[in-house]
Amino acid sequence: MEFALAHPALKAFMCGSLSGTCSTLLFQPLDLVKTRLQTLQTGVQPGTARVGMMTVFQNIVRTEKLLGLWKGASPSFVRTIPGVGIYFSTYFTLKQHLVQGKSPGAMEAVLLGAGARTVAGVLMLPVTVIKTRFECGRYSYGSVTGALRSVCQAEGPGALFSGLLATLLRDVPFSGIYVMFYSQTKAALPEEISLTVSAPVANFFCGVLAGVLASLITQPADVVKTRVQINPQVRTLQAIASIYVEHGVDGFFRGAVPRLLRRTMMAAMAWTVYEQMMAHTSIRRCFVLSQ
Tell me how many helices (H) and strands (E) the chain has. Answer: 10, 0
Where does the pLDDT of residue 25 fall: very low under 50, low under 70, confident under 90, or very high at 90 and above? confident
Domain ranges of the chain: 2-290
pLDDT in tens, 81-135: 888 889 989 998 998 888 876 778 889 999 999 999 999 999 999 999 999 888 8
Q: Which of 12-21, 122-131, 181-190 has the lowest mean pLDDT?
A: 12-21
* Among the four given CATH numbers 1.50.40.10, 3.40.50.300, 1.10.10.1150, 3.40.50.2300, the one describing domain 2-290: 1.50.40.10
32 — phi, psi (to 5°)?
Answer: -65, -45
CB 147 within 8 A of CB 139: yes
Sign of CA dihedral 167, 100, 17, 271: negative
Q: Which whole number is the average pLDDT over 223-234?
A: 88
Query: For residues 156 and 35, what is the distance between their CA atoms, to the nearest angstrom?
Result: 24
Where does the pLDDT of residue 50 fall: very low under 50, low under 70, confident under 90, or very high at 90 and above? low
Q: What single-letter amino acid sits at 92? A: F
CA distances from 142 to 148, 194, 197 (A): 11, 47, 46
Predicted confidence at residue 48, as pLDDT, reads 43
Sign of CA dihedral 99, 101, 105, 109: positive
Predicted confidence at residue 281, as pLDDT, reads 59
pLDDT at 274 over 60: yes
Question: For residues 12, 279, 116 and 151, what is the CA-based torsion angle, rounded to 10 degrees?
Answer: 40
